[in-house]
Structure 1
């Protein structure tokens, strides 16, 4: 897994983070033209809100005119960088010659050139921008040769910044942008004239570059969907990666494509499958280097590796997990190789380097790195362990052979085991706590007791101090606690397949009834046919024919499968071996004449023939012992003595040297014949030796291939064994998880049962008749009280409601109303009655799940029979009261003291000759209207009586003259009675009654002109007996209540 990505700057960091983007621009050869074209493309009437820092490769003693030249192409101020200069928006800063430039805490820093290092000023600037600005860093790589800017671009991209490259086809020298593009760290490519528009578009549409960026609420559903898409596309699960890590990477891609919403990006990914691969690599982008964190590698070099080699082990196993492009893995191999060469101790070192990114692994396998690694590797090591090439530096074969690169998912794949050192740096910090707690025990089991664990500077073993001992906290070096493993790995022998072929069986012809022909043929074969043997390619005997005793003899040792080469008599073995090999190699018969074979103390000349046996393809299975069988035929020659004149075969030299000379009297015999025989024997011996050498070379090749295959099988079996152990542990873990899930499910079942019981008791306790229906109006559930309305029994569950008969009277739209609610999702409420006279409030509502999905309808019936009875009685009483008031010209009224609201009956409005529909005031306005109808001399008295009733709770009953709105004059009786609650007057209720015609009221007033007007200190005259008082000049008494004065 490529996770060596630096964390972006934190808001809580002590260093201030500038609130605007800073664009670092690097170029080399041809840079002036690219810079000029770039700045000419910016609009003159717009504030860009970003700063620009230019770095160009210049000779150390050159005097640059770049500041003056750039200032002619842009309206922005252009300054030569100075130490401590503050960086501000809409300003251009240019690196001076013979210096290198960095950005820190919002200011520029200048550095002298280091002679011992390769000069990479663009990388150095980009690295400082990435660390200081994070996502507000923008790197632009322009024309130039070499690879400067590539590593810095990695850092900017890893810090969530943006990287833009000049398109190679628009470059005068495309080396630098092409290197960054090939490294896969470039987000956009464009010509210099098009880059300003691109920058303006990114800055204008991306919240991530604003001074006060908007922090949108992440769409969690979209994030999970994106992780699912990644898992389906790549096969790797990122759900255990820290949430912010994923969101930062996704936010980068949103900015690259100028997309604002995560849900929109998900749709974009679904329509653009290649974007998933880009996002995958973006999440796994690796920023690594040789000997990264030199202090930690120094501790490793001086303390750990000497302890690993202290007892001079025969082999070391090291695992670099999450190796990215391999720099740290090669660094480990270099350190160990330096120690081994110093000790002059041969040791089989294997460094397993794994990563999730197949492209990173492919790059690591090549071992080719850019020239910029000279900034991290000392010149001595560069010269010793690398070979300089035109494209950079290639690792030497000595180091490369130590490493085994492999694509590996640390989360799902089994780990390597029996490790002496496990290096996993800057990976755990990007995984959540749960996955860290799973991996650390896994590391513990992978490392040998006493082995070492090497973590990154921001990582630790957390609470697993019982598994690892802290050896150097600053270098993050830990040692595996030495204790007995809980379980031993299964032995390899249990998994080894049976590789030895089955024991050969002698060839036995099938028995069949013997015929005269068979008897004749057998006799001829026995008497005339020469001795022969059927062997396989290895020389193992399959069948013997005839008398082979003079040529073969049983080999010493245990009885079993006999090999013809071991049974061959003296002088026959070497010719026979050569003939079998030649016949097998060329698939043709081989003849050898004059072979001298020692039998019974004398040598006999024979002719030897080895012939491949041919036959139907299905006669002998390809894998059977008889496959490729050879027929070996022995023929004794006519002259069986050496003096017969037949040239001797191989082995004749030994025979001639040891056998005494015989004078046969033949002119051809004698020294000349001996020389000829020796010459022939020497020639045959040379041929035999040549054939033996070829056979030996072929055998060595076969053995070498077999050895490599066995090593591969051994590694595969070990890996399979480790996977089986891991699978066993995973199965145990799954079993535990299933047990936990089972317990949780049982708890959920119990909880659901309790909730069901609570619901049943709730429905039964409320007494509300309830009916649950699905979308097809089929009955799902009902309460017992519903049976008073609908004829239901328990077996009716699942039946359509339209099939059942209800007890509702005059209501036939039950099913239609339910369907209307399901269609419109608008609840319906109405009163319905049953045939027995009971009334119910029926409500029909959609059945909604927690996810707001409609799955049916709920129908409830609330018994309102008693409320209906009371309503009917009340309506009857109101009607009777209205009739009485109309018959007696009696109107009622009411005043709510707290609410300051008045109410009149219809008869009260009629006595006032007012239309209720035309009168809007319901509060103080009605009282004022009523007071206005009184005679002017009586208004104050009636007002005072009303106030005293409101304030002190004193009722009053009086008569007065009354002029209606139409000018009619009435003699009316006005009564008021307070409604007192807890000692306070809450309401005042009263009536107004017409006492007779106008003439009677006028006569009454004329007869008593003085009775209604006394002394001037009052307005109401009290009477001792019941009945109304007349309004006059009597005192009404003081009152704290107030009413508005009449004008």
Structure 2
């Protein structure tokens, strides 16, 4: 007898060119009684019948059949996609629809993976085999966003690896394995017992709290306001991947493994997003919000919007595209000030680069692809004028002051994951940030706003709301960032800097070293550093970039930034370091180091004496020509290095400019909040004076 649909786990398998051999090998290793169902989605010729079911039936005793519309998924069966159809799953039932082709591409794997994520949530499993292109990349983003599992074939064993490499590049793949190892790893993961099945509630809650506190203390990642169900699913997923069955053992594992703490923190950051996510919602936003905003705005005033929880930027750029379309229709030319914020630094980096895989053609129309994107090396990059409209900022919507005077706020991927009390606090903050009568755009599952009297609905079904004209704000509950600077090094564990320097010196004999943080502040000297550094005049200053010769300060600063960005060593030569006792030449190495007790990340700047270039002596014509060639090559290399340094400086300036812009908005938020508090105090003062006068009269 077949198992009930609700208990069957469906594994989505994507394959393209070269995938038949991978599928045969996989199913020859997979036990026929695993209890799983397998849905194989392959790129097929739309004009020819598929023989995939027959080919796979020879490799396994499981029943193999071509998928039929509205057929329920059953355990220990394999379903294959028919040609010229798209396959999806809803409520445990397979659905067939007509294939969609955009910009010359069909993306059936993305289509199925995304439906699998929506149907099975954290139980969704995706496996990706050999193939060309980038189909599947968007789908695995959604599967990982819901807490599912992603496994890909080792690209070294694939006939075509571009589809696999595109998936790996997202950083969201859990396992990269040879095909023969995938079935065993898959079965081990699905057989892992759930947390609620193996611990009493009180013990489970205590250990979960300890894990969250550990992430706060060691990684500065605070997820304590997340719903416990969300947190438990993420912990459960990492336990399954780490093959640990007891949550107390997993806590000890986290204490010992900084890399696992990083992975758990990253898993907690739920970055499910796509261009024009929920197309009908965006159409309603255009009709009921964007069109009125564009019509009422004159060219002298900017339109301001804030995209909170922007992840990799698709939502922010989608809003800008719709705004630009309506501005063109209305023949308006006002400026756009779009602020997009998130706490995930890596996601913000991707958002600023604005380069997306070919898979986005499933969400973006051909007209918009032509108008707002530039095709670049097989991918799509957002056009410069769209990118320049958006300022990305690292910002925590719960603890940081809001951006102010907004015409529109969009927050569609955050509220459902945090506790109701925190949701209400965030809604108060959004109401404070919006201008009277302006708009809030939420996710379709965000229901806390129904209990708020700060907003009135514009479209309940698509979660579009308007701030009421007159509302009272709980000012004391809004976040305020103080002006107190943090200590130079926040130490929970005393760092033995001399020990760390000695470790580095084991690899660099006859060297001088300074240990610095990312801002160049020196924490420790070792060796005769006075040969290369000098104290500046004026106020006491232990900044490396101030103590080095001014002509070398910029190149050294760029080397430090590059070492931080690439997490690797950077080498350069500094010539003519002028000192009172002569001129020094130095080879400089900048390398990241970690203090083992505290896990504190610093940078070691190592100065090694270098010989001065020898004076030239008379040479023959041939030798002179050889030297000229060498000099030209050296000059070309120096020119290329200077170009790279200039590009790095430009990127650093852009990032700093965005940070200053965001900081300025926060200062304005604090100022406006203080003004509101001052007005309340003035009102209270007048009331007290009135009462006092009445008492005097009596």
5 Å matches for 1:331-480? 331-460=318-447, 462=449, 465-480=452-467
- Whether the aligned pair in 2 keeps the contact of 1:135 and 1:208 (CA below 8 Å) is no
Could you give the per-residue CA deviations for residues 717-766 of structure 1, whole angstroms, max 9, x where no partner exists?
55334345558999999xxxxxxxxxxxxxxxxxxxxxxxxxxxxxxxxx
User: How well do the aligned residues superpose, as a CA RMSD in angstroms?
Assistant: 3.0
Residues of 2 paired with 1:179 and 1:232: CA distance? 34
Compute the displacement of 1:232 (Å): 2.4
| Distance in 1, Cα, partners of 2:428 & 2:451 | 8
Instruction: Go from structure 1 to structure 2 and tell me whether the alpha carbon gap of 1:134 and 1:476 turns closer, same or farther (over 3 Å shift).
Output: closer
Aligned equivalents of 1:178, 1:719: Cα separation in 2? 40
Quick one: which of 115, 119, 128 aligns to 1:132? 119
Answer whether contact 1:321 1:353 (CA < 8 A) is retained.
yes
Cα pair distance change 1:714/1:53, threshold 3 Å: closer
State TM-score, norm by structure 1.
0.45
Distance in 1, Cα, partners of 2:416 & 2:94:
31
Encode CA deviations 1:940-975: one digit per residue, 9 max, x unaligned: xxxxxxxxxxxxxxxxxxxxxxxxxxxxxxxxxxxx
Return the offset for 1:94. 1.5
CA pair 128-730 structure 1, distance change in 2 beyond 3 A:
farther
Relative to structure 1, the CA distance from residue 202 to residue 303 in structure 2 (aligned partners, 3 Å threshold; closer, same or farther) is closer
SS of the equivalent of 1:250 reads helix
* Residue-by-residue CA offset, 1:403-460 (whole Å, 9 max, x unaligned): 0011111111111011111111131111112111211111111111122111111114
Aligned partners of 1:711, 1:399: CA distance in 2, in Å? Answer: 15
**How far, CA to CA, are the matches of 1:130 and 1:342 in structure 2?**
37
Alignment of 1:272 with 2:263, yes or no, is: no
Which residue is equivalent to 1:52? Answer: 38
Q: Aligned pair in 2 of structure 1 residues 79, 717: CA closer, same or farther (>3 Å)?
A: closer
Correspondence for 1:302 among 287, 294, 298: 287
User: Counterparts in 2 of 1:212-223, with a 5 A limit?
Assistant: 214=197, 216-218=199-201, 219-223=204-208
TM-score, normalization by structure 2:
0.66
Within the alignment, does 1:322 sit opposite 2:305 as a pair? no
Shift of 1:394: 0.9
1:97 maps to 2:80: no
Q: Matches of 1:382 and 1:713 in 2, distance apart?
A: 32
**Inter-partner Cα distance in structure 2 for 1:107 and 1:455:** 29
* Mapped contact 1:426–1:458 kept (Cα < 8 A): no
**Within the alignment, does 1:24 sit opposite 2:9 as a pair?**
no
Contact 1:164–1:188, Cα closer than 8 Å, also in 2: yes
**Equivalent residue of 2:20, what SS?**
helix
Aligned mates of 2:250, 2:341 — CA distance in 1 = 31
Per the TM alignment, residue 28 of structure 1 is displaced from its structure 2 partner at its CA by: 0.6
- The higher radius of gyration belongs to 1
Correspondence 1:612-691 to 2 at 5 A: none
Closer, same or farther: CA 484–101 of 1 in aligned 2, 3 Å? closer
Distance 1:113 1:171 in 2: 27
Mapped contact 2:17–2:160 kept (Cα < 8 A): yes
Alignment partners' CA distance in 2, 1:68 and 1:718:
62
Change in CA separation of 1:337 and 1:234 when aligned onto 2, cut-off 3 Å: farther
Equivalence for 2:236? 251
Change (3 A) 1:87 1:469: closer
Secondary structure at the aligned position of 1:53 is classed as strand
Does the 8 Å CA contact 2:407/2:438 hold for their aligned counterparts?
A: yes
**CA-CA distance at 1:477 after TM superposition:** 1.4
Give me the whole-angstrom Cα distance separating, in 2, the residues matched to 1:471 and 1:80: 45
- Please show how residues 859-1008 of structure 1 align to structure 2 within 5 Å: none
Residue 109 of structure 1 deviates from its aligned partner by 2.2
Name the structure 2 match of 1:34: 22
Structure 2 residue matching 1:309: 3-state secondary structure: helix
CA distance in 1, matches of 2:421, 2:665: 29
For the 8 Å contact 2:392–2:658, the answer to whether it is kept is: no
Structure (1/2) with the larger helix percentage? 2
1:706-721 → structure 2 map (5 Å cutoff):
716-721=663-668
Within a 5 Å distance, the mapping from 1:487-526 to structure 2 comes to: none
Please give the alpha-carbon distance, in whole angstroms, between the structure 2 residues aligned to 1:297 and 1:287.
16
Does the Cα contact within 8 Å between 1:222 and 1:266 map onto a contact in 2? Answer: yes
Match of 1:112 in 2: 98
Instruction: State the distance in 2 between where 1:223 and 1:475 align.
Output: 34
1:140 CA displacement: 0.2
Aligned-pair distance for 1:30? 0.7
Q: CA deviation at 1:64?
A: 2.6
Q: Deviations over 1:380-410 (max 9, x none)?
A: 1111111122332111111111000111111
Shift of 1:208: 4.5
The answer to whether the Cα contact below 8 Å between 2:427 and 2:449 also exists between their aligned partners in 1 is no
Inter-partner Cα distance in structure 2 for 1:451 and 1:411: 21
Question: Does the Cα contact within 8 Å between 2:136 and 2:163 map onto a contact in 1?
Answer: yes
Are 1:227 and 2:212 counterparts?
Answer: yes
- Count of aligned pairs between the two proteins: 495
Q: 1:85 aligns with which of 49, 52, 71?
A: 71
The 8 Å contact of residues 135 and 163 in structure 2, kept in 1 or not, is answered as yes
| Conserved? CA contact 2:18–2:160, under 8 Å | yes
Within 2, Cα distance between the matches of 1:162 and 1:177?
A: 15
Q: CA deviation at 1:163?
A: 1.1
The answer for unaligned runs of 5 or more in structure 1 is: 1-15, 489-494, 496-705, 734-1047
* Secondary structure, aligned partner of 1:230: helix
> Aligned equivalents of 1:307 and 1:716: distance in 2?
30
Aligned equivalents of 1:721, 1:91: Cα separation in 2 = 60
| Distance across 2 between alignment mates of 1:171 and 1:407 | 38
In structure 2, the CA distance between the partners of 1:23 and 1:279, relative to structure 1 (3 Å rule), is same
- The answer (yes or no) to whether the contact 1:136–1:208 under 8 Å persists in 2 is no
